[in-house]
Amino acid sequence: MDDSSAETARTTLVVVFGGQSAEHDVSCVTAAHVLRAVDRRKYSIVAIGIDRDGQWHLAEGAMAALDRGPNELPTRLEAAGREVSSAPVLSAAASAGPVVVMPLLHGPLGEDGTIQGLLELMGLPYVGTGVLGSALGMDKGMAKNALAAFGIPQPNFVALREHEVTVSRLDEVVDALGLPMFVKPANMGSSVGVAKVSTRDELMPAVRAALAYDEWIVCEEAIVGREIEVAVLGNIETVASVAGEIVPGNDFYDYEDKYVTDGASLIIPADLTTEQSDEVRRLALRVFAALRCEGLARVDFFFEPEGRGFLCNEVNTMPGFTPISMYPKLWQASGVSYPELIDRLVDLAIERHTRRRRNTVR
């Protein structure tokens, strides 16, 4: 096969990053790390950045830097460049041959089923969970309700909508959950808007801060236990990575700990017995299936060794791929290199797309 034939055979990988959520910066770092790891012999790259106002840009600067070599890429991509419209730019990428979209978007308007719906309408294969699973995984309140229906153990919680927040209702929440507790926006990630509340006087300010990000919030009992995470990969047939443990550098594993100071310690594999490791990995696969996840997810647990055992905290259907992110580290420890992980995700996207098209196209 000559060079031109090899070029034609490559799959176009459309990497979409940025977005309008508070996790915009995390997405820009994730995209830079993914592009550095992509095997250019297998993929042609189209990079698209979505700015904070929702405008799509063809990230020509990032693509030019990548053409010069992976080390030429900045550590954080900019969602800037020539303005484009979503459907035409995606259609143009697909017209060149095989295409897979990798939406590296975290948080609302990206990880919540919105861009997944666009890609479904356009008939394009994409990495990650579909519309329903993405929406469920993003909304902590609905995810917890679904997991409860499947009998998945988890911390006690109360979900509230903005108009339900009153002094008397918050008193009921304190009676139900006790103090301390955590208050979180229902639709957000990376610990954005999350606060640990230790006194009744701290509760209303924490609720107001969470409501700045979403009209739904989740109040959850504070668990005294270890933080264990498992990475899951697959569609119908799924596999779980080794379990890892996070020892926060701050009072809890917050945004600063994750992306600014790198103060947390990541212990891989976690110090668990064989039985405990097997149990949490099986539980991660149950959670993945219960929420209709596909492709990838990171499932987070609390572990009370002398209490209730493993409690599911939350699911992240598009976990970070930054150099200090747990998801790729867990797979590296499980024998899957970063480039191989990308290849597997692309293959899973194609498999899922082919399978679902059989059900939707007549």
The sign of the torsion formed by the CA atoms of 227, 233, 234, 239 equals negative
Q: Quick one: pLDDT band at residue 9, thresholds 50, 70, 90?
A: low
pLDDT at 254 exceeding the cut of 50: no
What CATH superfamily classification does 137-141+145-152+225-341 receive? ATP-grasp fold, B domain (3.30.470.20)
Query: pLDDT value at position 263?
Result: 67
Fold of 3-126: Rossmann fold (3.40.50)
Show which residues are catalytic. 23, 190, 259, 298, 300, 314, 316, 320
Three-state DSSP class for residue 355: helix
Torsion angle, alpha carbons of 246, 329, 191, 245, to 10: -20
Structure tokens at 39: 């095997």
pLDDT at 303 exceeding the cut of 80: yes
Query: pLDDT value at position 2?
Result: 41
Closest CA to 252 of 225, 277, 284: 225
Q: What average pLDDT does range 204-217 have in this prediction?
A: 95
CA distances from residue 221 to 155, 183, 239 in whole angstroms, order as listed: 6, 9, 30
Q: Quick one: pLDDT band at residue 310, thresholds 50, 70, 90?
A: very high
> Which pairing describes strands 43-50 and 11-18: parallel, antiparallel, or unpaired?
parallel
The sign of the torsion formed by the CA atoms of 151, 156, 160, 166 equals positive
> When comparing pLDDT for 332 and 259, which is higher?
332
Query: pLDDT value at position 262?
Result: 59
Domains of the chain, by residue range, sit at 3-126, 137-141+145-152+225-341, 156-221
Kindly report which listed range (22-26, 179-183, 196-200) carries the lowest average pLDDT score.
22-26
pLDDT at 222 exceeding the cut of 80: yes
Query: Is CATH 3.40.309.10 the right assignment for the domain spanning 156-221?
Result: no
Query: pLDDT value at position 261?
Result: 46
- Cα separation, 52 vs 328, in Å, equals 26
Q: Quick one: pLDDT band at residue 4, thresholds 50, 70, 90?
A: very low
Residue 219 burial by Cβ neighbours in a 10 Å radius (0-12, 13-18, 19+): buried
Query: pLDDT value at position 251?
Result: 62
Closest CA to 228 of 241, 239, 242, 244: 244
